[in-house]
Amino acid sequence: MDRTEWASGIFAEYTFDIKDKFTLIAGVRGDYNSRFGYYFTPRMHLRVNLLHDLVLRGSVGRGYRSPNLLAENSAVFISQRTLRFAHDLGNESAWNYGVNLTWNLHVFGHKSEFSIDAYRTDFEKQVVVDHDSLPTAVFFYNLDGRSFANVLQTQLIFAPFHRFLVTAAFRLNDVKVTEGGKLQPKAMVNDYKGLLSLSYATKFDKWKFDLTGQLNGPGRL
């Protein structure tokens, strides 16, 4: 687990813009990592104004990371399980895709916003933290199979009356990883989440009041 690691890179970006209509940002990055060699990371973002108050955004890109297994999994140290690490643990890489639709509207005479987000991450490489194969051990090994995350979220922000703001959001999660040769839901990830936040501010913001409620759906332990 002890290591010395360094990385250097170069980045270029191109922006194409049609005022108030369309924006495209394309970027590419090249890196050299002292442990894993060369990385090539492309990414693209776009924004389209479908209507005056309706905006579509999209993104696609690739990402890399060097996992810090002990720091990221400190909870396993209190479980009395034996930690077993594969000898060839590598880096992680994934493709990310996303789309967002935002509609600015008026509700109760005030500005409001409704948005829908859909995102997917496909892992090419991943270090799997396997709690399931043996009750007395935690295994760390490279992904052998599929691993992905799908997220769908809706959000509404509106003001029923002056200085009172309501935020309501709901998210669906479909996160699965291959552990021990079996594709299954990732542990400790909720199937869905809900959020309701009520905020009120008095004149000149002298007093602010917030009430927040959160709903967490079931998840595999």
Residue range 131-158, pLDDT digits in tens: 888 999 999 999 999 999 999 999 999 9
Which residue stretches of the chain are H helix? 69-72
Any residues with CB less than 8 A from the CB of 202 and at least 6 apart, and which?
Answer: 163, 208
- 37-49 pLDDT, tens digit each: 999 999 999 999 9
The β-bridge partners of 125 are 93
Residue 205 phi/psi, 5-degree rounding, is 55, 35
Residue 27, class by beta-carbon neighbours within 10 Å (0-12 exposed, 13-18 middle, 19+ buried)? middle
- 8-58 pLDDT, tens digit each: 999 999 999 998 899 999 999 999 999 999 999 999 999 999 998 999 999
Distance CA 156, CA 164 (A): 14
The tokens for 27 are 């970027």
What per-residue confidence (pLDDT) applies to 76?
86
DSSP state for residue 90 in the 8-state scheme: -
Among 163, 167, 158, 156, residue whose Cα is nearest residue 200: 163
Torsion of CA 67, 71, 76, 77, to 10 degrees: 140
The percent of residues above 90 in pLDDT, for the chain, comes to 79
- List the 82-85 sheet strands across, edge first: 82-85, 137-142, 127-130
